[in-house]
Amino acid sequence: MSRVEIHGYAIVSDDDRIADSTGQTPDVLRNDADWAYFQAELNRSDVTVLGRLGHEANPNPRNRVRMILSSSSQGIERRVDGWWWNPERLSWDEAIRRVLPYGGRVAVPGGRQVFDLFLKLGYDAFHLTRAEGVAVPGGVPVFSECETGKGAEAILSEAGLTPGQRKTLDPVGPISLVVWRR
């Protein structure tokens, strides 16, 4: 099989949260410049991997190929709305070989359980966008380990990723982006 490259994408608050306490993305984490960057990145990807709740909450008007993590799958199944994968029943290597037999780029936009899984599997890059000056008290952290007080950057560093240059996506937010690479 050809190479598969895994890219994670998250916009987080200063307290490393990706959602509020109800699991919804709060308005303070929505930004047009970040959204445009994210959509351009999805356009460069061959498959988007996300959890079932994220899949259900986010329509797929561009009909991008999706891989949805769900315990309802028997392993990897092709359904009308995408590939449904149960990581408890089939390894990542076997699943992605079915979905991308010739390799390609994988976009991982979360949520937290999906981010945690791919942290173990190994990201090639993680695009960490930060809404600066924003907190989401009681919200859902980008990685479970953030609950212990460890920051997203420390977790990515421990996973073997190195930060690139900080870019400002929106000076008004401000919204900044650092791409961490293996």
Alpha carbons 70 and 84: distance in angstroms, whole number: 6
CATH number at residue 83: 3.40.430.10
pLDDT of residue 167: 98
Q: Tell me whether the omega of the peptide bond preceding residue 111 falls within 30 degrees of 0, making it cis.
A: yes
Q: pLDDT tens digits for the chain (182 residues)?
A: 579 999 999 999 999 999 999 999 999 999 999 999 999 999 999 999 999 888 988 888 899 999 999 999 999 999 999 999 999 999 999 999 999 999 999 999 999 999 999 999 999 999 999 999 999 999 999 999 999 999 999 999 999 999 999 999 999 989 999 999 99
pLDDT of residue 126: 98
On whether the CB atoms of residues 70 and 49 are closer than 8 A, the answer is no
Classified as helix, coil or strand, 32 is helix
Instruction: Specify the number of domains making up the chain.
Output: 1
- Which of 80, 153, 115 is closest to 6 using CA atoms? 115
Tell me the pTM.
0.96
- Which of 179, 128, 118 is closest to 18 using CA atoms? 128
Q: Which structural domain, as residue segments, surrounds residue 48?
A: 4-181
Measured in Å, how far apart are the chain's first and last C-alpha atoms? Answer: 20
